[in-house]
């Protein structure tokens, strides 16, 4: 609770004031019941001459005054606690969001956005209810219970004990429900909510695929299982664990007369003043109406405390996420060369390293490609350059300086990266591209779009670059999104570029334009070549790279130029042969006309390749690094070979 209140800052004091006002309000609420008892006492004393009870109206006005005062005090208390609760929830969201902004980007690869949203927003909302309502109600309930204990023994302690029996039984039932297994249930309950939120977000994003194949929710098994598990968990707890204790508790706190009436019958014959005894009995009968309210509030506060405890634990887990700290004495890189020096890296919780003793260099202004089988560590290696993760061993150097010794803002300013899967903000094209450099002018954004081959995209949009993507039916294809991402990278004008399979979702036409954009991106604003580290599965896109590094099982299998690697006859040569076979694959009709058969031909036999395969091969090879351009020209390579004359 102290940790939770710390989020409220200076408004924490309002919580204490609100709780005090709530407690006073609850004690004042006893007034009407006491006034009613005074009325009953006076009427019994003068029965049957009812007119002799002269103070009945006075008691009525006093009862009204106590009721109004209780409401006003409670309202003032809630105002104080709400102000503190809103500030607490707001600060909790801000602090978790600010912490996530300083967390390495790799953290988001292992933590789903739906689960994080649930923690940042949902947990803050759940604690808001505790501070705004449950906490002042708890203070009132404590005051009510203490007041009841006093009142129970003021008039007739024997009748008070009878009322107290119902309270004791109700408390035992609540302890049965809330203690032990109840705390364990709340933890599982919150985990189940997080899981449903995460899988629900994934399901919504996958609805287009589900619709295409005309499937139902059962086709997304993870979401379906999350719902079923949550349902089973809640039903088991409610039926098997809470049904009997809750029924028993409600029975007794709403039926205090089960204890009160038999006690009164047993005591009445021995009373000297039956009228006074009946007046006391009337008081306990009236006052017992408070007991269900008090016990219900206690039950709700128990639930709120469990929920908030779990919420704080989840918030603390986010706040404990490792952040990228700026070095005490940051160094400035001397150039843009990249070097992997005996780099090893293991993901959190993994048994095997993703990279093991990887060493290679990317000279300043050169283009180096990372290729290899899936799971070989290509994306991991590229992610270490902008410090999405920090290495477990060895060092990644930029300009001769370990990236961990560079100020994170300086490092991010020097590196631009384009992923294979990108999402646009629901903003205008202008703002989406300008995200790379917010101070950029409109003209600079237009120039970057033109350099990224996006002129056709801008022309077809209803409001040009001011068109909001995702609104009014405006959507872009995967290849068009990639070109906008390249425009963003061009606008950033960083000397180092990391490309992670940037043509993965492009059709041949878009790919040709993306490759042309690569050529512009590889040249700096002053014409100087940028340092490019690129990942590719489509080998034709990297055949003209200055260096090709082949990664397999997290290790460097071989490295060299395209021709050198082919001459070695190793893993790259086998991959290239497989690629040539795949790019030339086509379907032809059987001569009998009964069936269609796949025909595999050699890629060198251009006449056997269909137009789309040839176009794809040609466009994929359109980009040539500045260093290799002169060599390709000198060889007089043809377009079909991927050269540029």
Say how far apart CA 481 and CA 425 lie, in whole Å: 11
| The pLDDT of residue 478 | 76
Distance (Å, rounded) from C-alpha 502 to C-alpha 535?
8
Can you tell me whether residue 348 is helix, strand or coil?
A: coil
All structural domains of the chain, each given as residue ranges with its CATH number in brackets, are 9-319 (1.20.1560.10), 355-426+485-641 (3.40.50.300)
The CA distance from 30 to 38, in Å, is 13
pLDDT at 115: 72
Using 50, 70 and 90 to split pLDDT, how confident is the model at 548? Answer: very high
Helical segments of 504-610, H only: 508-522, 562-568, 571-583
3 state DSSP class of 238: helix
Tens digits of residue pLDDT in 22-68: 999 988 988 888 888 788 888 877 877 877 888 888 999 999 999 99
531-535: strand order across its sheet: 415-418, 496-500, 531-535, 367-371, 547-552, 555-560
327: which DSSP letter? P
Q: What is the pLDDT of residues 329-339, one digit of tens each?
A: 889 998 889 99
Strand partners, 468: 428
Q: Identify the residue with better confidence: 323 or 548.
A: 548
Ranked by mean pLDDT, the top range of 15-19, 223-227, 447-451, 617-621 is: 15-19
Tokens of 488: 């963003």
CA distance 161 to 169: 12
Query: For residue 149, what pLDDT band results from cuts at 50, 70 and 90?
Result: confident
pLDDT recorded at residue 631: 43
**Which of 212-221, 405-414, 498-507, 593-602 shows the lowest mean pLDDT across its residues?**
593-602
Highest mean pLDDT range out of 162-176, 495-509, 540-554? Answer: 540-554
| Helices within 119-273 (DSSP H only) | 123-129, 135-155, 157-178, 181-205, 207-212, 221-236, 243-253, 257-267
Alpha-helical runs (H) found in 400-500: 408-414, 429-434, 442-451, 455-460, 478-492
Highest-confidence segment of 19-28, 462-471, 499-508, 634-643: 19-28
**Of 267 and 586, the one with more pLDDT:** 267
User: Tens digits of per-residue pLDDT, 248-259?
Assistant: 888 877 777 788
Which residues are registered as beta bridge partners of 393?
344
**Per-residue model confidence (pLDDT) at position 640:** 35
Cβ atoms of 272 and 30 closer than 8 Å = no
Model pLDDT, residue 161: 83
Per DSSP, 106 falls in state G
pLDDT of 209: 65
Lowest mean pLDDT among 11-25, 218-232, 427-441, 552-566: 218-232
Report the DSSP beta bridge partners of residue 499.
418, 534
* The pLDDT of residue 125 is above 90: no
> Is the pLDDT at 79 greater than 90, yes or no?
yes
Region 540-569 average pLDDT: 90
Query: Under 8 Å CB-to-CB from 594, ≥6 apart: which residues?
Result: none
Token pair for 383:
């992610």
Query: How high is the mean pLDDT of the chain?
Result: 79
Residue 503 CA from chain centroid, whole number: 28
Residue 597 predicted with pLDDT over 60: no
How would residue 609 be classed by pLDDT, with cut points 50, 70 and 90?
Answer: very low
Region 76-98: what's the mean pLDDT? Answer: 90
Comparing 603 with 37, the larger pLDDT belongs to 37
Cα–Cα distance for residue pair 27/21, rounded to 1 Å: 10
Per-residue pLDDT band at 17 (split at 50, 70, 90): very high
In this structure, the strands spanning 367-371 and 355-362 are: unpaired
Neighbours of 89 (CB within 10 A): 22
Peptide bond into 48 cis (omega under 30): yes
The residue with tokens 């039903």 is 235
């Amino acid at each position: 609770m102290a940790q939770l209140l710390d989020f409220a800052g200076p408004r924490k004091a309002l919580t204490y004031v609100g709780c005090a006002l709530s407690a006073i309000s609850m004690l004042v609420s006893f007034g009407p019941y006491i006034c009613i008892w005074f009325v009953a006492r006076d009427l019994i004393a003068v029965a049957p001459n009812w007119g002799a009870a002269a103070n009945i109206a006075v008691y009525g006005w006093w009862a009204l005054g106590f009721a109004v005062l209780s409401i006003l005090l409670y309202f003032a208390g809630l105002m104080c606690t709400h102000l503190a609760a809103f500030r607490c929830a707001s600060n909790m969201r801000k602090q978790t969001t600010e912490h996530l902004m300083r967390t390495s980007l790799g953290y988001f690869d292992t933590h789903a956005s739906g689960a994080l949203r649930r923690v940042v927003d949902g947990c803050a909302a759940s604690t808001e209810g505790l501070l705004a309502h449950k906490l002042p109600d708890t203070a009132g309930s404590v005051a009510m219970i203490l007041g009841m204990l006093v009142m129970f023994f003021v008039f007739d302690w024997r009748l008070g004990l009878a009322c107290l029996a119902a309270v004791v039984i109700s408390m035992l039932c609540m302890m049965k429900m809330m203690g032990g297994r109840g705390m364990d249930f709340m933890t599982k309950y919150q985990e189940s909510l997080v899981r449903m939120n995460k899988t629900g977000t994934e399901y919504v994003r996958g609805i287009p695929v589900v619709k295409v194949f005309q499937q139902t929710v059962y086709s997304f098994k993870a979401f379906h299982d999350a719902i079923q598990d949550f349902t089973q968990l809640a039903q088991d707890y409610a039926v098997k664990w809470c049904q009997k204790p809750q029924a028993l508790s409600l029975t007794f706190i709403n039926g205090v007369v089960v204890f009160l009436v038999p006690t009164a019958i047993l005591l009445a014959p021995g009373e000297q003043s039956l009228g006074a005894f009946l007046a006391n009995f009337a008081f306990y009968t009236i006052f017992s109406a408070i007991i269900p309210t008090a016990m219900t509030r206690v039950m709700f506060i128990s639930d709120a405390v469990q929920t908030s405890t779990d919420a704080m634990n989840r918030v603390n887990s986010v706040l404990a996420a490792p952040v990228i700290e700026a070095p005490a004495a940051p160094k400035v890189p001397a150039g843009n060369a990249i070097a992997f020096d005996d780099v090893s890296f293991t993901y959190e919780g993994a048994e095997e390293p993703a990279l093991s003793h990887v060493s290679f260099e990317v000279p300043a202004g050169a283009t180096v490609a990372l290729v290899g089988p899936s799971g070989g560590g290509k994306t991991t290696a590229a992610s270490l350059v902008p410090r999405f993760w920090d290495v477990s061993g060895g060092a990644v150097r930029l300009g001769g300086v370990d990236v961990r010794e560079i100020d994170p803002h300086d490092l991010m300013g020097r590196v631009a990266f384009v992923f294979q899967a990108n999402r646009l903000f629901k903003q205008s094209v202008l703002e989406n591209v300008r995200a790379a450099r917010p101070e950029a002018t409109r003209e600079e954004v237009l120039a970057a779009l033109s350099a990224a081959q996006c002129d056709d995209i801008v022309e077809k949009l209803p409001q040009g670059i001011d068109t909001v993507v995702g609104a009014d039916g405006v959507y872009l294809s995967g290849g068009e999104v990639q070109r906008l991402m390249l425009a963003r990278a061009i606008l950033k004008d960083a000397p180092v570029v990391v490309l992670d399979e940037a043509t993965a979702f492009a059709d041949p036409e878009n790919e040709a334009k993306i490759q042309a954009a690569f050529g512009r991106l590889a040249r700096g604003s002053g014409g100087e070549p940028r340092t490019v580290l690129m990942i590719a599965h489509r080998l034709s896109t990297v055949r003209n790279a200055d260096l090709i590094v082949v990664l397999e099982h997290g290790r460097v299998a071989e490295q060299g130029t395209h021709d050198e690697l082919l001459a070695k006859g190793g893993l790259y040569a086998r991959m290239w042969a497989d690629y040539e076979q795949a790019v030339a694959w086509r379907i032809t009709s059987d001569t009998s006309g009964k069936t269609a058969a796949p025909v595999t031909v050699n890629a060198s036999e251009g006449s056997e390749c269909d137009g789309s395969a040839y176009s794809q091969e040609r466009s994929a090879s359109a980009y040539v690094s500045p260093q290799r351009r002169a060599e390709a020209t000198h060889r007089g390579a043809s377009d079909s070979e991927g050269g540029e004359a």
